[in-house]
Structure 1
Amino acid sequence: MSTYDDHPAAGNALGGFLRARRARLRPEDMGIPSSGRRRVPGLRREEVATLAGVSTDYYTRLEQGRERHPSPQILDAVARALRLDDEAVAHLYRVAGPATRRTRPAQRTERVAPPLRRLLDGWNDTPAFVLGPSLDVLARNRLADALFAGFTHSGNLLRMTFLDPEAHRFHRDWDRAAESAVAALRQAAGLGPGHRGLSSLVGELSIKSPDFRTLWARHDVRGKTGEAKLLHHAEVGDPELHYESFTVNSAPTQQLVVYQAEPGTPSADALTLLGTLHAEPAPAPGRTR
């Protein structure tokens, strides 16, 4: 039976992350002469240790989870050796932090505050929704409902991407969408490794989706900030939308995601048409809602 030490709920998330990242580096890219056949892809432990300026024994203990309190100086050195970008460095620090013992899973249900809900509902021309810690969709406005109408797994971005057959039709660049979704989930795992919903979600997707397992093992880390989305919608064609993500200050575990189209483009016309097709019927004359 294999062990999944890169699972967010497991005790050696640091080791899984380090192994995955050194496996992605080629010796020739690091100026290391390659001699003989290598049993594993990427760099060897001793090569990372040399690049980081630490002993091979110490680095081995880091990967094996036997060194629980590396200093910031050690983490910075390892990050440089593995050529981590800023988000990956931040994730390294999170997973290397001291483990919280007997962490009680959060029991509170994530809810969207009424003022934020009203803000969403007031945006008639742009799809917008709120995400929770495990990238659950906590609330959507009417245009977001229309945009994602073809999905059956519409309550979580990862299930939508990996378990719903609509995803490959909806995302014209599914590979990029899948990579971004997993990288965002990996960041969420580092922010809240004890979150019960996140752990069960990773377990479910690992069982049901080989694509997810492959991407999860890469340990890419990237928060949802903003990027272009090439989409296909059965009713309005192929819009290109751009989203921006914002942390909700009153609920820091939540993110507000807003989609928009470049004004004056066919994509903007597509959003307008989608809004028209799914507009709320006006009340009959003489009657109030």
Structure 2
Amino acid sequence: MSSVHPYARELGDFLRARRGRLRPRDVGLEPGGRRKVTGLRREELALLAGLSTDYYQRIEQGREVRPSDDVLDALAGALSLDDKERRHLFTLAHAARRSAPAAVNRDPERVPDSTRRLLRVMDTPAVILSRHLDLLDWNPMAQALLGDPDAYPTDRLNMLLLLFDDTLTGERSCPDWEQQALDYIGMMRAAVATDPTHPRATAIVGELSIRSDQFRRLWAQHDVRDSVSGTKTFRVPEVGDIALDWDTYPLPGNPGSVMLVFTAEPGSADADRLQLLASLHATRSALGNKHPSQTRGTAARRTPSGTP
């Protein structure tokens, strides 16, 4: 058999994961006798989608097939995919139709000077993340919230690597750790869908797959999320837990890069705690602790001890 197209492999893995989460009774089928699989069998999904079992199996195995949009619609319906999952299915399948991976822009992601200026004048915590969740820049309020970034080497400046490093954060300092992990994994899944062989993506996913059982479990679920907003609780020793809303904003000219901004409801206890934290940080800074970005070039050299 010829080598499997990287996009076709991603497509097959996604279909297999979605098939595994359904039970026969979920889709109006009788389970029948003893079953070796927990989800739907291939032949059951093929029946529901109006496909031959052999054809569906070739798609799932990543062989040389180019499913039409009608076939994709049928599979999305049979698998009960939501809108986010359906878009992900089409992204993977349309890429797999090409005979070779498309040329993808892999130029280093740069933060425009104007964006850096905006970041500095914002009075709420904000960071810049690359498409693969590398930390590119942050503002003083983010440093106050997340901790001193002058601690870790450049190649560790990644939210997923930090989140799954028990010596740095882990569940003890992240009350909503698994939700946070799913959000970041969803963002990484979107990046992998557009360029599954990118060296940075393969390095991060490869490392975490080797050293973290939790990451392997969550990554294998192939969950797809619109990770554009949410709520996160930060455990900050100086002021206690702070629950903040977060939103992401795409950067112009940097596909995949986002500004991640945290805000508190005005007048809330969380807003008061955030303001107190900002005051404490300003006092420390006045005593001589400068923000590392003041002496940094185009990318951050260190990372916060916490993760956003």
TM-score (norm 2): 0.83
5+ residue gaps, structure 1: 284-288
Among 259, 262, 270, the residue aligned to 1:259 = 262
Which is worse superposed, 186-195 or 151-160? 151-160
Taking only the aligned residue pairs, the percentage that are identical comes to 43
| Number of residues of Structure 1 aligned to a counterpart in Structure 2 | 277
Q: Which amino acid aligns with 2:218?
A: L
CA distance in 1, matches of 2:215, 2:254: 28
Q: How does 1:230-269 map to 2 (within 5 A)?
A: 230-269=233-272
The residue that corresponds to 1:138 in the other structure is: 136
Deviations 1:23-48 (A, max 9, x none): 00011111110111110110000111
Alpha-carbon contact 1:49-1:55 (below 8 Å) kept: yes
Q: Is this contact kept in 2: 1:163–1:208, CA < 8 A? A: no
Q: Once superposed, what is the RMSD of the aligned Cα atoms?
A: 2.3
1:286 counterpart residue number: none
Q: Which amino acid aligns with 2:135?
A: V
CA distance in 2, matches of 1:45, 1:148: 46
Q: 2:53 corresponds to which letter in structure 1?
A: T
TM-fit CA distance, 1:105? 7.7
Counterpart secondary structure, 2:240: coil
**What residue ranges of structure 2 are gaps of 5+ in the alignment?**
289-293, 295-308
Q: Which structure ranks higher in relative contact order (CA pairs < 8 Å, sequence separation ≥ 6)?
A: 2
- Does 2:227 correspond to 1:224? yes
Q: Distance in 2 between matches of 1:208 and 1:232?
A: 25
Q: Which residue of 1 aligns with 2:178?
A: 175
1:111-130 aligned within 5 A: 111-123=110-122, 125-130=123-128
Cα deviation for residue 249 of structure 1 reads 2.5
Question: What does the per-residue CA deviation read over 1:47-100, in whole Å, with 9 as the maximum and x for residues that have no partner?
Answer: 111111111111111111124311111111101111111111111112212346
CA shift for structure 1 position 281: 2.2
Partner in structure 1 of residue 51 of structure 2: 54
Deviation at 1:199, TM superposition (A): 1.3
In structure 2, distance between residues paired with 1:95 and 1:64: 14
- 1:198 pairs, out of 187, 201, 216, with 201
Pairing partner for 2:273 from 265, 270, 273: 270
- Distance across 2 between alignment mates of 1:273 and 1:238: 12
**98-107 or 47-56, larger mean C-alpha shift:** 98-107
Deviation at 1:193, TM superposition (A): 1.9
Work out whether 1:26 is the aligned partner of 2:10: no
Structure 1 residue 10: deviation in Å? 7.1
Could you tell me how far 1:258 is from its partner in structure 2? 0.4
- Contact 1:226–1:244 (Cα < 8 Å) also in 2: yes
TM-score (norm 1): 0.88
Residue 158 of structure 1: aligned partner: 160
In the aligned structure 1, how far is the partner of 2:7 from the partner of 2:213? 20
Q: Which deviates the most, 148-157 or 17-26?
A: 148-157
